[in-house]
Amino acid sequence: MNAVSIGPLVFDGGRFAAVVALLLFFLVTEIVARLQGRNLPGDAARWAGIAALAWIGAARLGFVMAHWSDFAAHPLDALKLWQGGFLSGAGWAGGVAVFLLAALRRARAALAPLALGGAVALAAHLAVLAVQPSPAVTLPQMQLMALDGGRVQLAGRDRPVVLNLWATWCPPCRREMPMMTDLAANTPGVDFVFANQGEEARQVRAFLDAENLPPDGMVRDPQGRLMAALNAIGLPSTLVFDARGRLVAAQTGEVSRAALTRMIAQATGETR
């Protein structure tokens, strides 16, 4: 997987690239503004903040509009930015719009810092995405344990598989599980496997009963072997495999309905 761990924080590849780009944007903007003899805070700092917010807002709005069919029934999900779901192209368009607005407002002190900061941020964003490893990952040939103690073979299903690594002690795992079980029940032709990491069957059953969730697709990985086999470094981790068992999409951290639907579309060959 292409997740990055920094201390207790875990980012998937796309989010890490965005964080690097944002930090460099503010750093370069400040350096250029100081070289012009104008110390931050000031016009450059104010416009840099506006540009960053515009990038985030435009990128999120672009994603929501592109996947409105998924958000229509749950419009408040559009506010759950921590779940991810941004269109970087729309974000950069929002940043350019702020630069043009600064030019129209004749904020000359901000133009050079914004232009150079934006250029460096864009280059860094693309570079981080380009250098992230994309190893060939396949669905592991592994037996997991059903809640009743039986054995469940993970690979060899001849259909797309959504594999979710989770635990009952993990807050984002708990938050996303109702959405995921609902999507599982309404996505024919795709297997959902919810592989609990390291817990007893009674703990899993207690959580499902308390949240009124179905046991379908629930299995246990008592030793957490999947975490090691798939190089997963955080929970929850959601991986989507095509019918041949090849990994086509993955996300570390809480996933939204729209993002997961898009990942499934990649595995099934549908366009969204």
Give the count of domains, the chain: 2
Predicted confidence pLDDT, tens digits, the chain (272 residues): 655 555 554 566 777 888 899 999 999 998 988 888 755 447 888 899 999 999 999 999 999 999 888 888 888 888 888 888 888 899 999 999 999 999 998 888 889 999 999 999 999 999 988 876 666 789 999 999 999 999 999 999 999 999 999 999 999 999 999 999 999 999 999 999 999 999 999 999 999 999 999 999 999 999 999 999 998 888 999 999 999 999 998 988 899 999 999 999 999 886 55
**Token representation of residue 11:** 């980012």
Residue range of the domain that includes 173: 143-268
Total-model pTM: 0.77
Do 49 and 93 lie in one domain? The reply is yes
Whether residue 2 is contained in a domain is answered as no
Work out the widest C-alpha separation in the chain, in whole angstroms: 71
Q: How many CB atoms lie within 10 A of CB 208?
A: 19
Q: How far apart are CA 5 and CA 219, in angstroms?
A: 26
Do 104 and 66 lie in one domain? The reply is yes
List 252's β-bridge partners, or say none: 237
What's 149's DSSP letter? Answer: S
Whether residue 190 is contained in a domain is answered as yes
**Token representation of residue 112:** 């050079």
What's 104's DSSP letter? Answer: H
Judging by DSSP bridges, how do beta strands 191-197 and 143-146 pair with one another? Answer: unpaired
Whether residue 28 is contained in a domain is answered as yes
List 143's β-bridge partners, or say none: 153
Q: Give the domain CATH number at 232.
A: 3.40.30.10
Straight-line distance from the first to the last Cα atom of the chain, in angstroms, rounded to the nearest whole number: 23
**Residues near 223 by beta carbon (within 8 Å), at least 6 away in sequence:** 198
